[in-house]
Amino acid sequence: DTEVTQTPKHLVMGMTNKKSLKCEQHMGHRAMYWYKQKAKKPPELMFVYSYEKLSINESVPSRFSPECPNSSLLNLHLHALQPEDSALYLCASSQAEVSYEQYFGPGTRLTVT
Amino acid sequence: QQPVQSPQAVILREGEDAVINCSSSKALYSVHWYRQKHGEAPVFLMILLKGGEQKGHEKISASFNEKKQQSSLYLTASQLSYSGTYFCGTGSYNTDKLIFGTGTRLQVFP
């Protein structure tokens, strides 16, 4: 099974809401990633978890809060977002770190109103 | 220091060849190549780990020139299914970070 799943597929939220994005993989991968992608732009790294520990935070605003409850799950908690945070949020996983291929989930299309 | 890809866009007829280049200003440990179709997630194509390494499967291959900090993706006898945006992703030493290049949009017409 080489699948990374993400829920929800679409999310519309107001600036005062709190919501969470979920990502799951069952490939035994030890590295998991959150990316943000705007239209016609490359994916932009937000966070990296390696062996369930946060190893990279790309100076992401605190209104985005990642969590890795176990080796298969990755969450992204959202609070007080801004309209400019509207984007496609992609989760990915890899066997270990950057020398291994990354498998991407289908993404969550987030709209902040 | 985002890697720069060239060209930005390519239009091909089926059966034609294309080369996409990826240049980095940093010393590279690895180069990944991904293809993303509109509205879909990026899909892994291949990874190159050693300078001078060349890889390929079917009609898509790639090379990695570590000294020049460059990689190239070669698409031969293109098919309609090759259409999409191609991204290189570069990894540097001592980091888990993969930085995606600027992207090349490829369109193949019958």
Q: What residue has token string 């001592």? A: B94
What is the percent of chain B with per-residue pLDDT over 90, rounded to a whole number? 67
pLDDT tens by residue, A21-61: 999 999 999 999 999 999 999 999 999 999 999 988 888 99
Strand, helix or coil for residue B81: helix
What is the percent of chain A with per-residue pLDDT over 90, rounded to a whole number? 82
A59 touches chain B (CB under 8 A): no
- End-to-end Cα distance, chain A: 36
The pLDDT of residue B15 is 96
Q: Which of A27, A30, A98 is best to mutate for the B interface (most B CBs within 10 A)?
A: A98
Span B73-78, average pLDDT: 95
**Which positions in chain B touch A99 (Cβ < 8 Å)?**
29-30, 47, 49, 91
DSSP letter, residue B99: E
Decide if pLDDT at B54 tops 90. no
Q: Of the candidates A98, A104, A106, which has its C-beta nearest B30's C-beta?
A: A98
Span B70-83, average pLDDT: 95
Sign of the torsion formed by the C-alpha atoms of A9, A14, A15 and A20: negative
**Which positions in chain A touch B40 (Cβ < 8 Å)?**
106
Span A79-103, average pLDDT: 91
What is the percent of chain B with per-residue pLDDT over 70, rounded to a whole number? 92
Beta strands in A1-113 (DSSP E): 4-7, 10-13, 18-25, 31-37, 44-50, 53-57, 64-70, 73-79, 87-94, 102-104, 108-112
The pLDDT of residue A27 is 93
Q: What are phi and psi of B82, to 5 degrees?
A: -75, -15
A100 touches chain B (CB under 8 A): yes
> For residues A107 and B41, is the Cβ–Cβ distance under 8 A?
yes
